[in-house]
């Protein structure tokens, strides 16, 4: 490679030219000249890079260089602030102020919930068991034995046609039913029966 003698004047002129193109007023060293030329874009103007800081957000962000800068040199994202939640009551807790919960401590005392033990007696109708006023729930439910007046009628075979008319009985399903059976009597006499003798459906034999 041929050797070329570069004078101080030539270097000064070159530095001034580069500084003028890059719009830099301060004198340039040889190393600075190399960096400045590298940063010149195709139009011959200097590439001005910006270091920028952005804060986290719950929504997407697009970080761009401000006016007067060509591009971003670096983007620093600040850390998200965190806090510890101490929950002392039931409810919904929402982190605010751009923070998030790094940990959640649940410290709900059992004394906040008053439970009630309850006793119920079986019935022939559905029974809904709920806590009384002043209680938040049931700690236990005691179902007493079936009362003696609630007999087991599952083996009942009688029907309405087996039971006298007007009489009530309990069917095998536990429902009250009214009988339809009519009893017919018969009478014997030598004369016409009076209208007061017997009931409708009775038989009278005249001899």
Q: Are 80 and 54 in contact (CB under 8 A)?
A: no
pLDDT in tens, 137-184: 999 999 988 877 777 788 888 988 888 888 998 888 888 899 888 777
Q: Are 106 and 87 in contact (CB under 8 A)?
A: yes
How many CB atoms are closer than 10 A to CB 158? Answer: 14
Q: What is the DSSP string of 3-46?
A: -----HHHHHHHHHHHHHHTT--S---HHHHHHHHHHB-TTS-B
Q: Are 67 and 48 in contact (CB under 8 A)?
A: no
Please report the pLDDT score of residue 129 as a whole number: 92
201 φ/ψ sector (left φ>0, alpha ψ -120 to 50, else beta): left
pLDDT in tens, 84-104: 888 777 777 777 766 777 777
Average pLDDT, the chain: 78
Write down the pTM of the prediction. 0.31
pLDDT in tens, 49-75: 789 999 887 788 899 988 877 788 899
Using CA atoms, how far residue 121 sits from 62, 88, 128, in Å, is: 69, 38, 11
Is 1's pLDDT higher than 60?
no
**Residue-range domain boundaries for the chain:** 1-47, 113-143, 151-207
Between strands 168-170 and 176-178, the pairing is antiparallel
């Amino acid at each position: 490679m041929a050797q070329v003698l570069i004078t101080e004047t030539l270097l000064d002129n070159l530095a001034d030219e580069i500084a003028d193109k890059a719009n830099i007023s301060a004198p340039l060293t040889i190393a600075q000249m190399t960096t400045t030329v590298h940063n010149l874009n195709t139009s011959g103007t200097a590439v001005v890079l910006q270091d920028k800081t952005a804060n986290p957000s719950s929504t997407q962000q697009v970080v761009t260089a401000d006016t007067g800068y060509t591009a971003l040199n670096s983007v620093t994202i600040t850390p998200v602030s965190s806090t510890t939640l101490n929950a002392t009551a039931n409810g919904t807790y929402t982190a605010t102020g751009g923070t998030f919960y790094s940990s959640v401590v649940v410290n709900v005392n059992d004394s906040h919930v008053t439970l009630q033990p309850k006793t119920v007696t079986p019935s022939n109708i559905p029974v809904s068991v709920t806590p009384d006023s002043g209680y938040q729930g049931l700690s236990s439910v005691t179902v007493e034995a079936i009362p003696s007046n609630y007999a087991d009628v599952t083996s009942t075979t009688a029907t309405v046609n087996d039971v006298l008319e007007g009489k009530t009985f309990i069917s095998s399903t536990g429902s009250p039913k009214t009988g339809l059976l009519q009893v017919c009597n018969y009478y014997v006499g030598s004369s016409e029966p009076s209208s007061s003798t017997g009931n409708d459906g009775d038989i009278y034999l005249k001899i």
